[in-house]
Chains A and B, each alone.
Chain A
Amino acid sequence: DIQMTQSPSSLSASVGDRVSITCQASQDISNYLNWYQQKPGKAPKLLIYRASILQTGVPSRFSGSGSGTHFTFTISSLQPEDIATYYCQHYDNLVQYIFGQGTKLEIK
């Protein structure tokens, strides 16, 4: 089975900071990697699919990059409303849909 390792598990940053989260796959997953945002008490929201494609309506300060085994999610300028937990998610041809452990983002 493919393992997804997301880091860090928590992150504190200031408004306006550039913030990055990484997701590492245990084997090559091409660009089959999605990113979600979950605000407290709310359902997750799809932000990025296929590693780097921004979902419609998502602000351009969010971006994703990477392929193979190493992926990065970036917020170019942190806003107060970005406080949330972020998850990466992979799927493979064994029809497995696996989420990373999550990164809790807080304002410093």
Chain B
Amino acid sequence: QLHLQESGPGLVKPSETLSLTCAVSGDSISSLSFYWAWIRQPPGKGLEWIGSIYYSGSSFYNPSLKSRLSMSVDTSKNQFSLRLTSVTAADTAVYYCTRHLSSVLAGNYFDYWGQGTLVSVSS
């Protein structure tokens, strides 16, 4: 059974960098059919896709975050990471890591999710 677990600081100061890691167990992050994604949810609000990355390092980001965002993958540790720079209070959210299927036949969807981690941006 695939399991994803987010980790990282729960509190980040404004203008600093938010860094999160997602540890994947139960399957290889190098699986050919899947990307790995981050999705966030501000308290009481809806879901926002942040970005997705392939095991090779190929990635694509939400245009609204692209200038502040970078994602990376570490196949030796079976994990992937998120860095979001110059954070503000608007970046306060529960951050989820997910498996992202991208297939011509099945389409694109997020089928396995971590439990989520709350990151608050505050001084």
Chain A residues closer than 8 Å to B2, beta-carbon distance: none
Count of A-B residue pairs with CB < 8 Å: 54
* Separation of A97 and B63 alpha carbons in the complex (Å): 11
Q: Is the CB of B107 within 8 A of A34?
A: yes
* Separation of A32 and B101 alpha carbons in the complex (Å): 13
- Is residue A62 within 8 Å, beta carbon to beta carbon, of the partner chain? no
Q: Is the CB of A95 within 8 A of B46?
A: no
* Separation of A98 and B62 alpha carbons in the complex (Å): 10
Q: Is the CB of B113 within 8 A of A45?
A: yes
Number of A interface residues at 8 Å Cβ cutoff, please give it: 24
Chain A residues closer than 8 Å to B62, beta-carbon distance: 96-97
Max count, chain B CB within 10 A of own CB: residue among A31, A42, A49: A49
Q: Is the CB of A43 within 8 A of B115?
A: yes
Q: Is the CB of B107 within 8 A of A44?
A: no
Interface size class of B (residues with CB under 8 A): 20 to 34
Q: Is the CB of A46 within 8 A of B107?
A: no
Digit string of B89-123 for contact with A (CB within 8 Å is 1, else 0)?
A: 00000001000000000111111011110000000
* Separation of A75 and B92 alpha carbons in the complex (Å): 33
Digit string of A91-103 for contact with B (CB within 8 Å is 1, else 0)?
A: 1000111111110
**Distance in Å: Cβ of B93 to nearest Cβ of chain A:** 13
Q: Is the CB of A32 within 8 A of B107?
A: yes
